[in-house]
Structure 1
Amino acid sequence: MNDRYDAGHGGGQEGPYEIVGYDEYGRPVYRQAPAQQQTYDPYAQPGQQTQHAQQEYGYDPYGTGGQQPSAPYDPYANYGTGRQAPVPPQGAYDTAQQAPVPPQSPQSPYDPYAAAGGQPQARVAEQTARIPQQAGPREEPEGPGAAGPAEPGAAGPEYHTEEFAFVEEPDGDSEDVIDWMKFTENRTERREEARRRARARAVALVVVLALVAVGGIGYLWYAGKLPGMSSSDSTTGGTTAAGAQKRDVIALHLHDTDGGSTSTALLVNNTTTQQATTVLLPNSLALTGDDGSVTTLAKSVDDDGPDATQDALDSVLGTAIEGTWRLDTPYLQNLVDLVGNIEVDTDADVPDPDAEDDKDAAVLVHKGEKQTLSGKMAVAYATYQASGEAQDAQLERFGQVVHGVLRKLSSDAQAATTTVQTLGMILDPPLTDKDLGSFLASLADLAKGGDHKTALLPVQDDGTLSTEDSSGVVKDVLGGTAKSPDEDAAVSVSVQNASGDKNNTAKVRITLVNGGFAFVEGGTASAAQATSEVLYADAADKENATEVAKTLGLPTSTVAKGDVSANARVSVVLGQDYEPAS
């Protein structure tokens, strides 16, 4: 078929194009007839002479008759379909049928939207290639009565969602949102971590409090201070607790340089219970020497010296004395003056020992509460023992002076050491100035806090210790065990020398110890006695008294029942008839 189409007349005639089909909009699709080999140039400039211009039947889709066509109208320019829809030329809407668009050929692409002058079609292809594929507008009716251009106010073409392509643009606030979410997440994690740490601390605190409570109860039980548990309980737990406590003990001997008497006390610092105690020891306390002889505390201090006395006290009391402090009365006077006087609740009026006679004796220390004592007054009060008064009263006064000194002494170890060094005393080894100063400072600290007390060791008439009476001091304060005389122990023999020869005392001592007896020093009689005596108080000791007489070479007639020294089972009075063994 060789039908031609003349756009200028609005009808189909024979020409170089033939209809090969219809597109999706119902428009005819043309192709160039094979017989024609010319190239179609719809935008050739006027006056240009080409091979196609020489043909009378050239195709002019705009019907301009060789005039330059106007800019083409493209109602679908913004909605690319991937291929170009037919575009009516100028005046096309005046005809009853839309003008067909010549098909594009690969050799000569058809660009109906090119500007006058013929822009390269590659540029159009580059621009249209970026337009996504979209569906074309709805189909318009063709033929006579076809609608012309849209009137103002008329409904525009209908579009569908699939006709558009949406591109998600980055939001400027998205990073801020992400940062906020990270911050919120981190803050939540920190809160959870803080809660976990708080719970861990709470658990740790509960555990610590529980351990402290258990430890406190255990300590009270160990120290025997739980309610209903006395320190003097005879149970194993109570005894072990008292014995296991740590104590520092120093023996203090006060020597009266004027009267010649001595007073002894044990200064105890219980570092476990933080309690200080001054234990007063009566001079009548019976001690046993290394040679088995029995003596009193007073005689041991004067005759045997500090070391032997310390060992004897450890043996009888079951304690461990670390050192001995010999304090003569002049040093006590200087010590009180150095600490700045002391306050004591005195229990007696004490006369001035420097008075010439009793009638003119003035009262140096008055009886009363909170009496301020100087060094001289403190010495007079500590050594005072009224006529007919037991030594225990004098020991109590000595203890009061010691307590007053501790309350005024510095609690600083260095300062207390300086005070001790200022006194200029010569201490018995192994005690040193520094050791004594530190020890006294610790006692002073406890005394100022109300943790210092004074206790008197109860001693029986014979100088021995009663387990029942002395257990409160020996076991609880000293942590030792009172030792009562054993039934199989050597018989103690008290010897008083009335022979007129002082050397006989030492000779008798050697003889009795070698004979298996315990020697007890009885002193020297004021007057000589012609006949010796061997006395016993208990009938059970009559045989022992007879053996003592035979050992000393005395006749059995000298054995009789009578008064015996308190710290011995047999008493011997050496007369002038005594002849020591050769």
Structure 2
Amino acid sequence: MNDRYDAGYGDHEDQYELVGYDEYGRPVYRQAAQQQAPQQPYDPYAQQQQGYGYDPYATGSQQQVPQQYDPYGTGQQPVTPPAPSYDPYGTGAPQGGAPQAPYDPYGRAAASGQQPRVAEQTAYIPQQAGPGERTQEASPAERDYRTEQFEFVEEPDGDSEDVIDWLNFTENRTERREEAKRRARSRLVALVVVLAMVAVGGVGYLWYAGKLPGLSWSGSKKGGSATAAGAQNRDVIVVHLHNTKGGGTSTALLVDNTTTKQGTTVLLPNSLSLTDDDGTTTTLAKSVDGDGSSGTRDSLDTALGTDIEGTWRLDTPYLQNLVDLIGNIEIDTNADVPDPAAKKKGAEPLVHQGKDQTLSGKTAVAYATYRASGEAQNAQLERFGQVMAGVLRKMSSDPAAATTTVQTLAQILDPSLTDKDLGTFLAKLADLAKGGDYKTALLPVQSDGTMSAQASASVVKDVLGGAAKSPEQGSAVRVSVQNATGTKANTDKARVVLLNGGFTFLEGGTAGTASATSKVVYTDAKDKANAGEVAKTLGLPDSSVAKGKTTSNADVSVILGQDYKPSAS
């Protein structure tokens, strides 16, 4: 549109000024008032053949006809007839009045007639021809502006980007929701799997620990044992309580069965018969005083078939400090313990008999070492076991904290047992004691210090796992001897003969009734040859050798009958 107008308007742009736009969006100019030079006015709707002029105000009055606008600058100023009436439909038919000037869409001069110049006259700039218009001159009917000659260009809507963004946002949000649902389902499935595994593991643990009703891991007379007692793993240390004021010692084994998660204090009577390295028979009390910790530990290993890892010498002052460090203990006492400092009879006892008695370090030592007049040593030993159980219940289950407690005692421990080892071991037992998985057992011995069959079955085998261990290459075969001859001296004679023959002697005690014939018994087939050697050493016939059940701590068991002749050994 502007190209056509600029062709004639470029030289006269100072004569027109823009006043606005018409209803079709075309610019509307008006002629400046101060210009005096006549010129041809621009008639955008003048038709060449229909001959009528355009009255912008449609007044129908005759105006002075100014000179026509010459857009091509030809200088010709044809005379323009008076303005005709306006034909809005472009029919070309005259509607009264003077003949109309023809319409020239390119602003060329009219064939005849002139219009007077009017000041402030408004001119319309013709629109640029659209793509559908012809470049050649067309007929008047074809030069009329029609709807199909306009090409409408759809401009992009500014809101389209917002719509696209909103669709993308909605799609992304839907995907995120679906992804969140998938993750939630995955987490739910994982949680169910974990809970199922925990439930199965819990049931397995209860079954393993023998805590399920009707089921037991350790077996029974009806069901048998899932794991043999001897195949279980045990950590064992021996503790000797030395009474620095009243004299005497008390010995116990602290056992941590890591297989069954069971802790036990095994109380060892001082009358327990042991064999020294030189083969001589002694008691536990004498071994502790004479052989020391190392010799006593080896003798206990031989007698019980255990593997003691260390010795803890606990003097009564250290026991008192230990109880005070952990903040007293609570136990059920079985006797009133008199105060040694009291001078009057009937004075208030230092420890009262009863349940849940709180003992300090001083009262704990008094109760652990107390032995009433006429009581057996086992009564005092059981009180010592109660105090040890109370200490373990109050000891920290944290290995580091328990080690700090041990270090605070400032004890001089056996080289085989360090502060850290003892602290870690006590922390494990403390955890078992707090959970109720701890017990105390007394090793039953006969009056002569030998272990009975009951002791071998209930304590040595089940608690200590002391089934006869296979001797290492070059080690001596352990032989348990029970005297059924009716002559007590025959035990010592058999001991001397066996020690001289390179065997380890274990005293099996004296049988209640005499036996007519002697027996040499072995359990494992690999010990059959050893049993034959033992029979020859004792002067017994080969027919006395038989496969059977031996004591738990011996490789070969011997029952000396009345046919045994020491002179034939």
For residue 226 of structure 1, give the secondary structure of its aligned residue in structure 2.
coil
Q: 323, 335, 342: which one pairs with 2:310?
A: 323
Give 2:17's aligned residue: none
SS of the residue 1:238 aligns to: coil
Gaps of 5+ in 1: 1-26, 29-42, 47-65, 78-84, 140-156, 500-505, 523-533, 551-566, 572-582
Q: Which residue of 2 aligns with 1:22?
A: none
What corresponds to 1:404 in structure 2?
A: 390
2:172 to 171, 182, 186: 186
1:489 corresponds to which residue?
479
1:311 is aligned to: 298
Other-structure match for 2:130: 130
State whether residues 249 and 323 of structure 1, in contact with CA within 8 Å, keep that contact through their aligned partners in structure 2. yes
Could you report, residue by residue, the CA deviation over 1:418-463 in whole angstroms, capped at 9, with x for unpaired residues? 5434544321111123332343344445545655432323445665
SS of the aligned residue for 1:327 comes to strand
Task: Read off the aligned partner of 1:172 and give its amino acid letter.
Answer: G
Residue identity opposite 1:321 in structure 2:
I
Match of 1:282 among 248, 263, 269: 269
Give the corresponding residue for 1:431. Answer: 417
Kindly report the root-mean-square deviation, in angstroms, between the aligned alpha carbons of the 2 structures.
5.8
Question: Relative to structure 1, is the Cα distance of residues 224 and 110 closer, same or farther in structure 2, using a 3 angstrom cutoff?
Answer: farther
Q: Tell me if structure 2 keeps the 8 A contact 1:399–1:454.
A: yes
Q: Write out per-residue CA displacement over residues 337-383 of structure 1, whole angstroms, 9 at most, x where no aligned residue.
A: 55555444322234556789x98999554433344445454334323
In structure 1, what is the Cα distance between the partners aligned to 2:195 and 2:139? 86
Residues 81 and 101, structure 2, Cα contact 8 Å, conserved in 1: no
The size of the alignment, in residue pairs, is 440
CA distance in 1: counterparts of 2:146 and 2:453, whole angstroms: 119
C-alpha distance after superposition, 1:468-502 (max 9, x if no partner): 76655556654x24459xx99353679xxxx9xxx
Cα 1:87–1:292 change in 2 (3 A) is farther
Answer yes or no: is the 8 Å Cα contact 1:535–1:570 preserved in 2: no
Residues 176 and 243 of structure 1: CA distance in aligned 2, closer, same or farther (over 3 Å): same
Shift of 1:398: 0.9
Q: 2:354 aligns with which of 351, 359, 368?
A: 368
Which string of whole-angstrom CA distances, capped at 9 and with x for unpartnered residues, describes residues 276-301 of structure 1? Answer: 43222233445456666665433443
- One-letter amino acid of the counterpart of residue 68, structure 1: T
Match of 1:68 among 80, 85, 97: 80
Cα pair distance change 1:241/1:255, threshold 3 Å: closer
Residue number in structure 1 paired with 2:253: 266
Structure 2 vs 1, CA of residues 364 and 428 (structure 1 numbering), >3 Å: closer, same or farther?
Answer: same
Taking a change above 3 Å as real, the CA distance of residues 516 and 404 of structure 1, as seen in their structure-2 partners, is same
Range with bigger deviation, 170-179 or 371-380: 371-380
Q: Which amino acid aligns with 1:130?
A: G
Q: Deviations over 1:37-93 (max 9, x none)?
A: xxxxxx9989xxxxxxxxxxxxxxxxxxx953234667468xxxxxxx884568579
Q: Tell me the residue number matched to 1:239.
A: 227
1:230 and 2:206 correspond: no
Separation in structure 1 between the aligned mates of residue 397 and residue 109 of structure 2, nearest angstrom: 119
Aligned 8 A contact 2:329 2:391 in 1: yes
Cα 1:69/1:460, change in 2 over 3 Å: farther
Q: Say if 1:75 and 1:326 are closer, same or farther in 2 by CA, change over 3 A.
A: same
Separation in 1, partners of 2:314, 2:156: 100
**CA shift for structure 1 position 409:** 4.5
CA gap of 1:331–1:188, structure 2 versus 1, over 3 A, is closer
Tell whether the 8 Å contact from 1:276 to 1:447 is kept in structure 2 after alignment: yes
Name the CA distance, whole Å, in 2 between partners of 1:535 and 1:169: 120
Name the amino acid aligned to 2:227.
Answer: T
Say if 2:84 and 2:101, in contact at 8 Å, map to a contact too: no
Structure 2 length normalisation: TM-score? 0.58
Please list every run of 5 or more consecutive structure 2 residues that lacks an aligned counterpart in the other structure.
1-48, 51-64, 69-77, 118-122, 470-476, 521-535, 540-556, 562-569
Change (3 A) 1:267 1:203: same
Task: Verify the 8 A CA contact 2:208 2:260 in the aligned structure 1.
Answer: no
Q: What CA distance in whole angstroms lies between the structure 2 residues aligned with 1:309 and 1:67?
A: 151
Q: Deviations over 1:161-180 (max 9, x none)?
A: 86875543433322222222
Task: Indicate if the aligned counterparts of 1:264 and 1:280 stay in contact, CA closer than 8 A.
Answer: yes
CA displacement 1:298-325 (0-9 Å, x = unmatched)? 3443343322333343455454432110
One-letter amino acid of the counterpart of residue 197, structure 1: R
Mark the structure with the bigger radius of gyration. Answer: 1
Q: Could you say if the C-alpha distance between residues 429 and 166 of structure 1 is closer, same or farther in structure 2, counting changes exceeding 3 Å?
A: same
Amino acid of the residue matched to residue 297 of structure 1? L
Opposite residue 173 of structure 1, the aligned amino acid is D
* Distance of 2:85 and 2:335 partners within structure 1: 142
Q: 1:87-486, aligned counterparts within 5 Å?
A: 87=92, 91=96, 127=127, 129-130=129-130, 132=132, 166-233=152-219, 238-239=226-227, 243-244=231-232, 247-257=234-244, 260-270=247-257, 275-287=262-274, 295-339=282-326, 341-351=328-338, 364-409=350-395, 413=399, 416-444=402-430, 446-448=432-434, 450-459=436-445, 473-474=459-460, 477-478=463-464, 480-483=465-468
> Are the aligned partners of 2:81 and 2:114 in contact in 1 as well (CA < 8 Å)?
no
